[in-house]
Amino acid sequence: METQSSFEFTPQQIRLLEGRGGEPLQVPVKATNKVYLVVEQGVLPVLDDDYIRRGLAHAAEQVERGEEGPWNSEEIKAAGREKLAQRRQEA
């Protein structure tokens, strides 16, 4: 799958990416309250215990700041099923 980028990384950002040892870079976007992961193409991130702990700590900090929103477990499951169906179609 070929994608087009609307930007290029600066030399400083490239050094940051290369210094992570293959670990995904989390890029939070405050305006949308989303976090994107930057990973090298063809390299799947390993969800080790430390990575999961950091993600949970980040989520806990968001809750403490009041940045969480209402959620519905059925909507979350439906969204997950939709993403899975899309991935299967792309494969």
- Residue 1 pLDDT grade (very low, low, confident, very high; cuts 50, 70, 90): very low
Dihedral sign from CA coordinates of 10, 16, 25, 31: negative
38: CB partners within 8 A, 6+ apart: 17, 24, 25, 27
Domain chopping of the chain, boundaries: 11-90
Residues 25 and 20: their CA atoms lie apart, in Å, by: 8
Look at residue 32 and give its three-state secondary structure.
coil
Q: What confidence tens digit (pLDDT) does each residue in 7-42 have?
A: 888 899 888 888 887 778 888 888 888 888 888 887
What is the value of pTM for the model shown?
A: 0.41
What does the pLDDT look like over 33-68, one tens digit per residue? Answer: 888 888 888 777 666 788 788 889 988 998 899 887
Cα 84–chain centre separation? 16
